[in-house]
A and B are shown apart, each in its own frame.
Chain A
């Protein structure tokens, strides 16, 4: 199968999780014998090859007043490039990721008459709410993508229901296919950071990974930390990620008197992140809205348990009291209580970490996810119903 995939971010350009998702999925599709072309953003127009994937980069504009205008212009470049590529490659299916690739995907579906598959990783409604003209436009583009796509993939089971409801998507054209984890990446990774740079030997290291935003529940976690420290003094909370909220949340932590008990790393490269998962004692995912919850799976791949909200994809990526513990979303008391249960029981914590690893090996390998994805491609191409 010849697959053309549009994603605005692709390694080495990474902002959220879409870049890694597209990279790992493409590698698995190539392993299955498919020909995968990625059309993505770059500083300049260039072609690249990585792990059997052909990567075409096109630049965007400096003139856009907002993110939507920027992506609209990028999509024009995508569309023109894809038409040229199709003359040589004759793609079987176009696969787009999130709203930032919708205009080009919809345009090409109409001009080239190719089947269109649309993966939604999250919605604007869940990320930020629909409260500005820009967020309304993003929401409209998400709807437009679901309307134009022949088949839709969502990365979470609950999220699939959310998309069906808010965009009135017919049952027969929407599917739930989870994200996967590249286990080898975790097994083969070398330690590129040292535990003692982040926490003392005597401290339990609790890792938060994600954008520092309200949606990720950082406020509730910060409120929970003093309650945890009241009963368990030897704990250190390491926050990995940025998302524009780094200064704000570091300031908040310090104002709560948590300067010695928190560490904000900002953005870190993949090798450091994997090392941090490995040297941490457990992971915390206090999200309020989480379509999938990759953090719990990555932690599990590193044999670590996760304490995370009972919301969205985290309902599936954490098995309560088996691979981690669920908390009540947006509830700092619940976060504190569950953290304390794990902190007081080392053996249980390690046992849950090992169980998580088994779960990932069984259910969240990319090869399996790529096979499901090609099933959806086939449906979009009308190969089977």
Chain B
């Protein structure tokens, strides 16, 4: 799984943490995420965390994120060599570039959780157009898309022309959402995990 920095209390942070907690009860899960400090953590026999820092500050969030993705790629390759994986799960535009590259390299399915789109967030910055295009790149190339609510789903369908069948709407933290994601993993990876 790829994500930005895991921050307690932050929605995406809690989403990722909940899935890690749930999946690692029965499956090997590797999280590759950004952090200020480079660190490799083995939480238990089923959960490894690869915290990756970025050597460049960047002149804006977009440019920083693109370089951060190259750094995440190093950790992604480490996971591939040390543990292998059957499926890749990315969260939002921030980790789409590395997730797409790893999916192509390893020839594994990519699930993309779109928690919101840049258009929903209001297109408030001058590089919003680039974020929108990266979102499009991810949405069109992902094997399957998860959305948290109706609004995001409508944006994904209407703004990016994504077919409805490729999207699953799951409200996080409710109705065994984690188990349903695991079922989706099984279906896409076509392995008996």
A residues sitting closer than 8 Å to B (CB atoms) are 61-65, 68-69, 72-73, 75-76, 79-80, 83-84, 103, 106-107, 110-113, 133-134, 136-137, 140-141, 144, 147
Determine the distance from Cα of A69 to Cα of B66 in the docked complex, in whole angstroms.
9
Determine the distance from Cα of A365 to Cα of B93 in the docked complex, in whole angstroms.
47
Given contacts A64-B130, A80-B100, contact A111 B63 (CB under 8 A): no
Prevailing SS type, chain B contact patch: helix
A79 touches B101 (CB 8 A): yes
Determine the distance from Cα of A144 to Cα of B129 in the docked complex, in whole angstroms.
25
B56 touches A110 (CB 8 A): no
Task: Specify which chain A residues have a CB less than 8 angstroms from the CB of B180 in the assembled complex.
Answer: none
Determine the distance from Cα of A62 to Cα of B105 in the docked complex, in whole angstroms.
27
A72 touches B63 (CB 8 A): yes
Task: Specify which chain A residues have a CB less than 8 angstroms from the CB of B100 in the assembled complex.
Answer: 80
A73 touches B130 (CB 8 A): yes
A22: min CB distance to chain B, Å: 22
Q: Which of B10-18, B73-81, B149-157 contacts A (4 or more CB under 8 A)?
A: B73-81
How many residues of chain B get a CB closer than 8 Å to chain A's CBs? 32
Given contacts A64-B130, A134-B59, A140-B57, contact A72 B101 (CB under 8 A): no
A106 in complex: contacting residue of B70, B104, B105, B130, CB < 8 Å: B70
B130 touches A69 (CB 8 A): yes
A137 in complex: contacting residue of B58, B73, B77, B133, CB < 8 Å: B58
A346: min CB distance to chain B, Å: 53
Q: Closest residue of chain A to B141, judged by CB?
A: A80
B101 touches A63 (CB 8 A): no
Q: Closest residue of chain B to A132, judged by CB?
A: B59
A111 touches B102 (CB 8 A): yes
B27: min CB distance to chain A, Å: 24
Determine the distance from Cα of A270 to Cα of B130 in the docked complex, in whole angstroms.
35
Determine the distance from Cα of A103 to Cα of B70 in the docked complex, in whole angstroms.
7
B130 in complex: contacting residue of A61, A110, A144, CB < 8 Å: A61
Asked if B134 lies at the interface with its beta carbon under 8 angstroms from chain A, I say yes
Given contacts A73-B133, A76-B134, A133-B59, contact A144 B73 (CB under 8 A): no
A83 touches B137 (CB 8 A): no
Report B57-92 CB contacts with A as 1/0, cut-off 8 Å. 111101100110111011011000000000000000
Task: Specify which chain A residues have a CB less than 8 angstroms from the CB of B77 in the assembled complex.
Answer: 110-111, 113
Task: Specify which chain B residues have a CB less than 8 angstroms from the CB of A111 in the assembled complex.
Answer: 73-74, 76-77, 101-102, 105
Asked if B126 lies at the interface with its beta carbon under 8 angstroms from chain A, I say yes
Q: Closest residue of chain A to B66, judged by CB?
A: A72
A83 touches B132 (CB 8 A): no
Given contacts A69-B127, A140-B56, contact A83 B63 (CB under 8 A): no
